[in-house]
Amino acid sequence: MKDLIEKIVRIQSTLKAPKNQHNNFGNYNYRSCEDILEAVKPLLAKEGLILTISDDMVVLGDRFYVKATATITDGVNSVSNSAFAREEESKKGMDSSQLTGSTSSYARKYALNGLLCIDDTKDADTTNTHGKNDELVKKKVVECKKSIEAHGKYVEGDGDYGLVTRFANKIFELGYKDDANEILALLKAKTEKDSIPY
């Protein structure tokens, strides 16, 4: 176990996971779960360790939480860290798989942060109030709604459909839930029923 701990300490002290992602609405940089994984993989390979992440659904009271657990192992011993993220109570206009996926990504990021000693306490995704950016977000929302109205029928899974859902998911994550729900409701109304992506 001591050997594993020493290897993890080396990874923690060497790991560089810069905030390469930029949020145009909040005007801040951040790192994603994928950024952390990309940065840590070469260090894991060098030390001969394996990193796995798993999710569990946990019900506390009447709310659903995603419990993400990140584990580093040498094949014999392991060290783990878990983090929770709560699914929103209201799912109006949002596909449940999208909601769970977004929640899972958030929980996984913070499970990795704890395991690898990454400090995100000053990240804007945890502190941003969006106050000064409301005007910009509202403008983008109006543009998106106009674009949906002007578009013909959408096909689930195609490029245009994906662009709209990604935009809605992003503003949902930023706290503009009502706007995201309205956009997804508009999209759903203009999506071909029984459309199957190929």
How does DSSP assign 54-114, residue by residue?
A: EEEEEEETTEEEEEEEEEEE-SS-EEEEEEEEEPPS--TTS-HHHHHHHHHHHHHHHHHHH
Which tokens belong to 108? 């996984």
Predicted TM-score of the model (pTM): 0.59
User: Quick check: 182 and 90 in contact, CB under 8 A?
Assistant: no
E strand or H helix that includes residue 29 = strand 28-30
User: Quick check: 88 and 98 in contact, CB under 8 A?
Assistant: no
In this prediction, residue 104 carries a pLDDT of 86
Amino acid found at 182 = E
Dump pLDDT digits (tens) for 147-177.
888 888 888 777 788 888 888 888 887 778 8
Dump pLDDT digits (tens) for 31-44.
888 999 999 999 99
Confidence of residue 98 (pLDDT cuts 50, 70, 90): low
Averaged over 97-117, what is the pLDDT? 85
Distance, CA of 94 to CA of 146 (rounded, Å) = 19
User: Quick check: 180 and 145 in contact, CB under 8 A?
Assistant: no
